[in-house]
Amino acid sequence: MPTIFDVAQAAGVGVGTVSRVLNDSPAVSDSTRSRVLAVISALDYRPSSLARGLSLGTSNIIGAVVPTVTHPSSMERLHGVLDELGGSGYDLALYQVEGEEQRSSRIRDIVRPDRCSAGLLVSLRATPDEIFLMVRAKRPVVAIDGYIEGLPGCHIDNVAGGRMATEHLLALGHRVIAFVGDVEDDLGFNPGAARFEGYRAALRGCHVPLRDDLIKTGPSCRERADQLTGHLFDLAEPPTGIVATSDTQAFGVMAAVRSRGMEVPTDVSVVGFDDLELAGHLGLTTVRQPLYESGVLGARMVLQQLDGHRDGLDVVELPLEVVVRETTAPPNNGSALYGA
């Protein structure tokens, strides 16, 4: 890739002159400007938006504050953000956060005009002080996967999603349904708690008693879900169906079932949440949320504000649907769970 130094050398000028041409400064003669532009075209030089922003005292950066960049759902959302930003002239900077103090620091970064032109908050909550800071700064900030008062954004109804997953198993005839969920992270964001409320509401709606021994929670990872699920099969009346609060946890649930010599769904039906790409390959029945589409919409909202169109921005609730695949079936009362 050619650099600004290559352009300066080929045009016979200094780097500062090339920078002034790029920034459309009047302090460059027409003949010099024409020569530099011709070299830029010949070399197919593409200036860094970060460097150009720094030279102007502004930024062409959109900062995304994300709790765990490598989490599959976060990666899919960011995929949508990047696709929408492509060709917009804005680059994306990722700020991974691990605690509330770091989150506050990153929020301050994305509302600084010399750091970022706009910001995205992905799968995060915000304190009243942080919300006040963002609103007062009057910088475009959009929330993706989480409602933050005063900010436009998009989210899903996690209570409805948990209810939909559970109602699918209830409709198949299951009445002993376990819940494998996650715990609140260090940032206070826990959609699993809302999904549990949906699970509980669905059981109540079918007059199925809530059993504490069927509820297992832990860190949102496949390995921990595997361990938690193993304890369910030691119960006197183990579950015939399991709702997991994410596809990642559902993969751990399926591994635990098979490690006991049982089969999904013959012995245990499993429902996940997210509809990651791997879920389709493994035939997992799951509640699909529009991960990629939420990233696209969030980025679109930011670009709309950067273009000066702030009217009509709102909080959008995205649709959910149960995608039925091979991991759910009616309960088999003669299964290995009951010693058959």
Q: pLDDT tier at 339 (50, 70, 90 boundaries)?
A: very low
The stretch 285-289 carries a mean pLDDT of 98
55 has pLDDT over 70: no
Residue 266's nearest CA partner among 325, 333, 322 is: 333
Query: Is residue 221 domain-shared with residue 334, that is, in the same domain?
Result: yes
H or E stretch covering 267:
none
DSSP conformation class of 299: H
> Which of the listed ranges 4-18, 34-48, 257-271 does the model predict with the highest average pLDDT?
257-271
Q: Is the pLDDT of residue 200 over 50?
A: yes
- Residues 260, 207, single domain; the answer is yes
CATH number, domain at 18? 1.10.260.40
State whether 168 and 278 are in the same domain: yes
Q: 279 with 163, same domain?
A: yes
53 located within any domain: no
Return d(Cα 258, Cα 264) in angstroms, integer: 8
Asked if residue 54 is part of any domain, the answer here is no
Which residue is associated with the tokens 């150009």?
Answer: 52
Residues 312 and 200 in one domain: no
Residue 24: its pLDDT value, please?
Answer: 76
Q: Is 173 left (phi over 0), alpha (psi -120 to 50) or beta?
A: left
Mean pLDDT of 7-30: 85
Q: Which amino acid is at 300?
A: R
Residue whose C-alpha is closest to residue 126's, from 97, 165, 159? 97
Determine which of 24-33, 146-155, 226-235 has the lowest per-residue pLDDT on average: 24-33
Question: Do both 237 and 327 map to the same domain?
Answer: yes
pLDDT in tens, 159-190: 999 999 999 999 999 999 999 998 776 667 78
Q: Do residues 313 and 328 both lie within one domain? A: no
Task: CATH number of the domain at 149, please.
Answer: 3.40.50.2300
The confidence score (pLDDT) of residue 328 equals: 98
The pLDDT-based confidence of 309 (bands split at 50, 70, 90) is: confident
Give pTM, 2 decimals: 0.81
Q: Above 60 in pLDDT, residue 337?
A: no
Domain region containing 143: 61-155+291-318
Farthest-apart Cα atoms in the chain, separation: 90
55 assigned to some structural domain = no
What's the 3-state SS for 304-316? HHHCCCCCCCCEE
List pLDDT tens digits, range 234-280: 999 999 999 999 999 999 999 999 999 999 999 999 999 999 999 99
Domain shared by 202 and 330, yes or no: yes
Kindly tell me if the per-residue pLDDT of 333 is higher than 80.
no
Based on the fold, state whether residues 188 and 144 are members of the same structural domain: no
Return the top range by mean pLDDT from 71-75, 216-220, 286-290.
Answer: 286-290
Do 145 and 166 share a structural domain?
no
Between CA 94 and CA 185 the distance in angstroms is 19
pLDDT of amino acid 186: 61
Same domain, 219 and 332: yes
Q: Is the model's pLDDT at 230 over the cut of 80? A: yes
User: Are 283 and 184 contained in the same domain?
Assistant: yes
The pLDDT assigned to 297 comes to: 96
Return the structure tokens found at 195: 């999904």
Contact predicate 153/146, CB 8 Å: yes
Count how many domains the chain has: 3
User: How many CB atoms within 10 Å of residue 324?
Assistant: 12
